[in-house]
Structure 1
Amino acid sequence: MNLPVDILVEILSRVPAKSLHRFRCVSKWFNCLICDHQFQNKHLGHAKSCTRDLESKRLITRVDGLALSFSLSSTYNNAFTWRPNYVSDNKRKSSTFMLVNCPSVNGLLCVKLGTFDKLAVHLWNPTTNELRRLPNSSLFLGEETYDPCDEPIYGLGHDSANDDYVVVRMIMRSPNSMVIKFEVYSLKNDSWRLIQLQPFSYASFRQDEYFNCQSLNSRFHWMVLDDNRDDISYVIVSLNLSNDEYKEIPQPNYQKFSIVDVDYTDVVVLDGQLCVYIHYFGRSFDLWTMKDYGVQQSWMMMLSIPQHDILASLNLDTSWLGHVQFLPFYLFENGDFLLKVHTGERKDIMVYKKDKKVLEASILGHETIGRSYVYTETLISPNQYLTPAPLRIVKNLNRVSRDRLIQYVS
């Protein structure tokens, strides 16, 4: 059986990324195809459109110093199989691994690797275990940056206009947490550049355990404090990855509140939409979503969970009012939410059943340490602009490679 090359490529673009990565050793044709940037984007499009395929969407977290992940499909049958994600700098085993405070984009994650006193930021694809060490910044931060409150905030995004992956680095100084420097890293150029946002007089709303910088529509989004008005208020700021312009995003018409009434609030991207969650002290946890990006009237409340219902689901008494925190980071197709729940010193990953209005018991069986993110298994390489695979090699498919290919996909 001889299938046209276009059909074979179409078939392979629907094969799970983990399997395709293993198939690179089948032939040179296979290897060239899987490493090709256009094919990786084609495969990414299919992977992102398969909303029902929870097996290819994985939760990654750090337990006992190790990076572990499991598929989201296991959240309903409790058959958890932890998959260790091994990270190497190609020279020696890294002694320290940390997830940087920004969510995954197209299967890529920002991580810090190295020795405890010297960590370097890398782009990492946990599916293929490919790493790209980001070059050192030209900015000297000074010894005072060892203060945890002054550690830079990072964001990872995709600039669709230039088909480039971008990392933003926001550097602040205490005591007012004012952002004084913005750096942007381009994967295509493999370099950092300093950008000027004028005038930018906001104070950063620091929540390192939460998701500070969210990427959507080729823009970064994060929550800041505007103390230049009569009353201090929260503001959503967006930064355009293509032209470095920033603007405020209109917020929901939620009940006006004082800053002292809010335990915490932040932005998050769920199901491709910008969301705001607010935890009112001792009252409720509210989640809003912007159905039409940039349109203030399109904000709608997705859910509001009374604080007492939260405590009841966790079997906690009223003494815990104000001491339980929710961090939503994935929306299932049926409306359920995956959340990180903080109760005192304990951090668990749990599922909120929207129909039953209850929290399921911890789905991990482990206490998580540090940050947790959901990523989609993709072939996107952090080294794609170093050694691009020419598509013409893929098109020159010989008979031997075609027969071997048919054998593996049939």
Structure 2
Amino acid sequence: MSASEKTAAGVSTLTLHLHLLPQDILVEILSKLPAKSLVRFRCVSKFFYALIVDHGFGVLHRTLSLTLPSKAAILIAIIPSRRPRSVPSAPAYYTINFSKENPRRPGMLQADRLGYLDGDEPFLKGCLHSSSDGLICLSRPNGDIVVVCNVSTGQRISLPRFQFDSPHGTKTCALLGFDSQSKRYKVLMIDRRSCFEYKHWVLTLGVDKSWREINYSSHPLDGVGCAGYSDTSVHIDGVIYFYNWLTRDDPPSFHIVAFEVWSESYSFIPIPAEVTSSSPHLRSIDASGETYHYTDFVLRNFALLQVDGGRLAIIYVHNIGHLFNMVVWTLEKSKGCWEKITMIIPFKFDLYRFTTNHAGEIVLLCIDSKQFFILVCNLKSEVWRKFDVGGVKEFPICFPEDVRIYKTMDHVFSIE
């Protein structure tokens, strides 16, 4: 018997035994398998296919993945440095799992290359700026290509092309969120027409055939400001949060926009005055164009994250003299206020991006003169851990704006 025949016989035997199990036990077993294995199991039988693509099973698998460290990771996308910078270059994608420490080198995490994402035209510079669970949303700045991809399985879908009616050109930002009511993912598209003219569109994955324009508050929303920066938006429990640096107030007052995916409606959360006063970069306004200008420094050092307990947090990293400080404001909804924590970071580094891990700890992707490394901070204990990153020798010393980092997890939920 050949190797392929033995494999086929083994699969048939396994299938027979699985079908003999009660359905509730079978569902429990399958829900704990990796997404890649489940994708292969869909080909076993019609029953398996129907079960694995079922929305209820996808939600169950997603819920378990949120609680299992082995199914959680961070996704890093790096665009190789190049000259001239106007020439686009395809990014390299890696995942790092905190439960897979290198046994030969304690304190070393191994980065795994996601080769199936390399070289595809939709994944060019500046297009990755949104994530939800294990899905990422990629789009070109002009919105003519929008792709949603499952990091675990490699499944991807291209969304309908966005139709523009602005004679002055446009700039878009696509943000992904999960609607817990319909159990569907939605993409919010913010389309900037001019300094204070924006339109807002939504598309429900697997349902809508075209983009739907939605009504929004008359307050101007600068959603496009997060288009090039992965750490300025976050999805928490069916709400997409992002900064709004657009204001006509004098002195300026900024806030966070909360977009509820289910109702497709906006609300606003004031940013603590202490945040805006902590950096002089947040004070400049171009009066002639009525456009607020913020620097790369501000966008790189300010982040919105979901920290321990599902709380929304503003993170700010800065250095005073030779010491690096991290200031964290967490939103306590029950108290209706922000609470502040300040910590000294016991390392020297150049900061690239922020995210969080499966435990709600803050993760900083940093670089020194030699290599990339990761700092992890537990907010409760205020303890820092440092991990070197292996398998990334091909990483160039690149520009911070060319790096993206997200929390991700094993995910079999169908996006079609």
Length-normalised TM-score, structure 1: 0.72
Of the three residues 174, 189, 194, the one matched with 1:169 is 189
Of the three residues 290, 293, 310, the one matched with 2:331 is 290
Residue identity in the other structure for 1:289: T
Of the three residues 35, 54, 72, the one matched with 2:53 is 35
Overall identity of the aligned pairs, in %: 23
Q: Deviations over 1:283-317 (max 9, x none)?
A: 74312222437x433x33354336xx55xx23xxx
Cα pair distance change 1:353/1:214, threshold 3 Å:
closer
1:236: how far off? Answer: 0.9
1:121: how far off? Answer: 1.0
Structure 2 residue 374 is the aligned partner of structure 1 residue 350: yes
1:261-410 equivalent positions in 2, closer than 5 A: 263-264=297-298, 265-271=302-308, 272-280=310-318, 282=320, 284-292=325-333, 295-297=335-337, 299-305=338-344, 310=347, 313-314=348-349, 324-325=350-351, 327-331=353-357, 333=359, 336-341=361-366, 348=372, 350-353=374-377, 357=384, 360-361=387-388, 364-365=392-393, 366-367=395-396, 369-383=402-416
Residue identity in the other structure for 1:296: G
Q: Deviations over 1:47-100 (max 9, x none)?
A: 1232xx234434242465333333232466525152424159xxxx83452474
In structure 2, how many angstroms separate the alpha carbons of the residues matched to 1:377 and 1:358? 24
Q: Residue in 2 aligned with 1:257?
A: 277
Q: Residue in 1 aligned with 2:70?
A: 54
Structure 2 residue 74 is the aligned partner of structure 1 residue 82: no
In structure 2, how many angstroms separate the alpha carbons of the residues matched to 1:56 and 1:350? 16
Residue identity in the other structure for 1:70: I
Structure 2, unaligned runs of 5 or more: 1-16, 81-89, 283-296
Q: Residue in 1 aligned with 2:147?
A: 122
Structure 1, unaligned runs of 5 or more: 146-150, 315-323, 384-410
Is the Cα–Cα contact under 8 Å of residues 219 and 240 in structure 1 kept in the other structure?
A: yes
Number of matched pairs: 351
Of 221-230 and 33-42, deviating more is 221-230
Q: Deviations over 1:216-265 (max 9, x none)?
A: 23222111125333311321111222333322124457476165165523
Residue identity in the other structure for 1:45: T
Cα pair distance change 1:46/1:95, threshold 3 Å:
same
Is the Cα–Cα contact under 8 Å of residues 220 and 240 in structure 1 kept in the other structure?
A: yes
1:132-281 equivalent positions in 2, closer than 5 A: 132-142=157-167, 144-145=169-170, 151-173=171-193, 176=195, 178-187=196-205, 188-203=207-222, 206-207=225-226, 208-225=228-245, 227-252=247-272, 254=274, 257=277, 260=280, 263-264=297-298, 265-271=302-308, 272-280=310-318
1:120: how far off? Answer: 1.6
In structure 2, how many angstroms separate the alpha carbons of the residues matched to 1:58 and 1:357? 18
In structure 1, how many angstroms separate the alpha carbons of the residues matched to 2:175 and 2:167? 22
1:125: how far off? Answer: 0.9
In structure 1, how many angstroms separate the alpha carbons of the residues matched to 2:215 and 2:50? 40
In structure 1, how many angstroms separate the alpha carbons of the residues matched to 2:35 and 2:232? 29
In structure 2, how many angstroms separate the alpha carbons of the residues matched to 1:118 and 1:215? 21
Of the three residues 120, 129, 135, the one matched with 1:108 is 135
Residue identity in the other structure for 2:376: Y
Q: Deviations over 1:101-150 (max 9, x none)?
A: 4332132111248xx999621111122221111001232355744xxxxx
